[in-house]
Amino acid sequence: MLIPHPLLGLRDSSEFTYLGDAALLDRPDGMAPDAATRFHDYVHLRDNPAGIHRELWFHEQGDRSWLIVTRNTITHEVLSAELSRDAMKGGAA
Amino acid sequence: MRNGVEGESILQLILLSGNNFDELSATVNILSVFDKYLPKHIASLTIRTGIRDGRSVRYSGLRVIKEALTGHKGWQPIWRNPDPQPAYDYVIVGGGGHGLATAYYLAKTFKQSRIAVLEKSWLGSGNIGRNTTIIRSNYLLPGNEPFYEFSMKLWEGLEQEFNFNAMVSQRGILNLIHSDGQRDAYRRRGNAMLLAGADAELLDQGDVRAMYPWLNFDNARFPIKGGLLQRRAGTARHDGVAWGYARGADLAGVDLIQNCEVTGFRIEDGRVRGVETSRGYIAAGKVGVAVAGSSGRVMAMAGMRLPIESHVLQAFVTEGLKPVIDGVITFGAGHFYVSQSDKGGLVFGGDIDGYNSYAQRGNLGVIEDVAQGGMALMPMIGRARLLRIWGGIMDMSMDGTPIIDRTPIEGLYLNAGWCYGGFKATPASGYAFAHLLTTGTPHETARFMRFDRFERGYPIDEKGMGATPNLH
């Protein structure tokens, strides 16, 4: 799999480490009254879709940036990649 | 004669009262020779004894000789291909190893009836046909080890139990040790295994050298210092396991329904009423889901999110070679394990690819990683040519341990989260799931494999990796 890094172009996926669903960027409020339940769901439960999946990849053997990669989990087709800091800035994560 | 409920003749009652292939084998072997002289209705009433429609379906040495002398014309399909009934007491979703084993033990051991297995493709078309066939019970934690040892004991009696050659071969598994720290860890693991009634031996370098003199003992990074050996571990014929359970379940009256994909659950007032399928609605008293890598998408149809990610694991087999490895060797530090099939191919693998996937195939990076591990351990493997590479979809749980439990939806039960270790668990998984479905309480060896263990703070994390499915 080749990941189209927004700054470095096509990079082999073996340069990256994988964290999982990009929903992990959306951390629950630890001060909320139901924080324990929300953190359980956040840490342990996954949508695990067969199809389009937005996910976090860390360019560990490269520029050490975090990317949000949109990928098809049935075909391994990589549809897009963006810097997670840009996505966070836009509030789209 | 279905489900053993219509008592008609004395002969039938005698035959059914045993309800056990083994006790009746002598009778059946005699009947199988003379069955064409028996009144048709008597012979056809005795499915559970190994005779169907006047023909013996029981396997034995005598049977092989009889078929050899008669041109092998008596072999028949070993299970029916029924259409679904409108309703069942038990519907098992998933006709793989675990689903078939569940149906088998439900009917055979727990004496339940009106059971269906729904399979979207053909029986055994998932991970039971795609794994590297290793059976073992060398776990550490009390939530795991008794369960896997229970499974090992079931493996040891399996072929007699279901009268099918699953080629269970207790050729031993050797986990290699490379450092003092690893030896301590394996000594602890071995002791945990012994406490759970399993077998374990700690080997020094000389012992390992005597077993496998051609291993690379002087690797600069991972010199081999010893190993943990479980002699009762080994391999089994993976497809044979599926076929044996399927045949046994079918003979016990289970409907094995192929090409029948579950497309939804009918849930009313928090209780499951049945399943929507590609072959129509099927009502069910209880529904058990055992679909491994597809767990996420099947349970999503019941509105549930699981502590599971689906990942791809690759496996490899070389061309057939002369016998060189008579056991299973694992090189955990190098992400590599290997055994040799009875056909001569070296069967090996390594880590999962590490990203969510439903593709049943992986990427080149892991292929290189596995090949490098193999070269580091046994440089001669570089001369072997690869015949096949394939991938299977693993239901990787958040702590590396499975779930066999009820769900918040009444009547809906889940068997999932097997990671890359589902094959060895097949017998115990089926037995424990059947126990849960029948009694409503967990089997004693599976009582820690709860759905709510993450919420309650009791994960069963062999490697201590935390909620990172791709590292288990």
**pLDDT for position B182:** 97
Locate the chain A residue with the closest alpha carbon to B359. A74
CA atoms lying within 13 Å on the CB side of residue B272? 32
Rounded to an integer, what distance in angstroms lies between the CA atom of residue B116 and that of residue B417? 22
> By the CB < 8 Å criterion, does A43 face chain B?
yes
User: Taking CA atoms, what residue in A is nearest to B396?
Assistant: A48
Task: Estimate to the nearest angstrom the gap between the alpha carbon of A28 and the chain centroid.
Answer: 16
**Separation between Cα atoms, residue B392 and residue B360, nearest integer Å:** 5
Q: What is the pLDDT of residue B58?
A: 83
Tell me the backbone φ, ψ of residue B92, rounded to 5 degrees.
-100, 125
Distances (CA, A) of A2 to A11, A76, A78, B315, B365: 5, 10, 8, 22, 11
| C-beta separation of B178 from B333 below 8 A | yes
Task: State the DSSP string of B58-78.
Answer: ---HHHHHHHHHTTT-----S
Tokens of B153: 């004991």
Q: Quick check: A73 and B309 CB within 8 A?
A: no
Tell me the average confidence (pLDDT) per consecutive run of 10 residues in chain B, 472 residues long: 36 37 39 42 43 72 92 91 97 98 98 98 96 97 97 97 96 98 98 98 98 97 98 98 97 97 98 98 98 97 98 97 97 96 96 96 95 97 96 97 98 97 98 98 98 96 94 92
Structure-token pair, residue B217: 């003992």
In this complex, is the C-beta atom of A32 within 8 Å of any C-beta atom belonging to chain B? Answer: no
> Both tokens of residue B250?
């079918």
Given this model, what pLDDT does residue B55 score?
A: 63
Q: What is the dihedral of CA B235, B238, B241, B243, to 10 degrees?
A: -150
Question: What pLDDT score was predicted for residue B50?
Answer: 63
Q: How far is A19 from chain B (nearest CA, A)?
A: 8
CA dihedral B147, B151, B157, B161 (to 10 degrees): 100
Contact flag A76-B398 (C-beta cutoff 8 Å): no
Q: How many angstroms separate the CA atoms of B219 and B379, rounded?
A: 10
Q: Report the length, in residues, of chain A.
A: 93
pLDDT of residue B11: 37
Coil, helix or strand at residue A57: strand
Specify the domain boundaries for CATH 3.50.50.60 within chain B.
87-129+239-307+399-471
Q: Contact B129/B315 with Cβ under 8 angstroms?
A: no
Nearest-CA distance A75 → chain B (Å) = 6
Give the amino acid at B111: K
Residue with tokens 């039960």: B413
Chain B residues lying within 8 Å of A37, measured CB to CB: 455
Q: Report residue B279: phi and psi, to 5°.
A: -115, 30
Say if residues B461 and B396 touch (Cβ distance below 8 Å): no
Closest CA of chain B from A51, distance in Å: 8
Does the pLDDT at position A92 exceed 70?
Answer: no
CA angle B449, B453, B456 (to 5 degrees): 155
Task: Find the helix or strand (DSSP H, E) in which B392 lies.
Answer: strand B386-397
Distance CA B62, CA B43 (A): 19
Written as six digits, the tokens of B466 are 């935390």
pLDDT of residue B46: 38
pLDDT for A93: 47
| pLDDT value at residue A89 | 81
d(CA B35, CA B15) in angstroms, rounded, equals 15
pLDDT at B342 (0 to 100): 94
Tell me, yes or no, if B263 comes closer than 8 A to chain A by beta carbon. no
What's the ipTM? 0.95
Closest residue in chain B to residue A69, using alpha carbons only:
B355
Which of B308, B354, B359 faces A18 most closely, judged by CB atoms? B354
Domain formed by B87-129+239-307+399-471, architecture:
3-Layer(bba) Sandwich (3.50)
The CATH superfamily assigned to A2-90 is Folate-binding superfamily (3.30.2270.10)
Note whether A46 contacts B354, CB cutoff 8 Å: no
Backbone angles phi, psi at A19, to 5 degrees: -105, -40
Strand order in the sheet with B308-320: B201-204, B226-230, B173-177, B328-331, B336-340, B345-356, B308-320, B386-397
Q: How many CA atoms lie within 13 A of B374 on its CB side?
A: 26
CA distance B139 to B134: 14
In angstroms, the first-to-last Cα distance of chain B is 47
For position B26, what pLDDT does the model report? 39
Helix (H, G, I), strand (E, B) or coil at B200: coil
pLDDT of the residue at B212 = 98
Chain B within 8 Å of A53 (Cβ-Cβ)? yes
Quick one: pLDDT at residue B1? 33
